[in-house]
Amino acid sequence: MAKQIISATIDSDLAKWIDHELKDKKKYRNKSHLIELAIELLKEQ
């Protein structure tokens, strides 16, 4: 799958949550990985 660069402005609380989640390197490789997984979950609903 080709990747496309995007930009988003999000709430500061969400940004802090993302940073907190990224401390566990076993779950997510980086912010892009976390966001891709979150969007996939939303897409499945």
- Which pLDDT tens digit goes with each residue over 17-43? 999 999 988 999 999 999 999 999 999
What pLDDT, on a 0 to 100 scale, did the predictor assign at position 1? 75
Helix axes 31-44, 12-21, angle to 10 degrees: 110
What pLDDT, on a 0 to 100 scale, did the predictor assign at position 24? 84
Whether the full predicted model's pTM is greater than 0.85, yes or no, is no
What pLDDT, on a 0 to 100 scale, did the predictor assign at position 34? 96
Residue with tokens 């907190």: 20
Rounded Cα distance, 22 and 15, in Å? 11
Question: Could you tell me the residue range of the domain that residue 38 belongs to?
Answer: 12-44
**Residue 38 within a domain:** yes
Residue 7 has pLDDT above 80, yes or no: yes
**Residue 6 within a domain:** no
Total domains in the fold of the chain: 1
What pLDDT, on a 0 to 100 scale, did the predictor assign at position 25? 85
**Residue 1 within a domain:** no
**Residue 20 within a domain:** yes
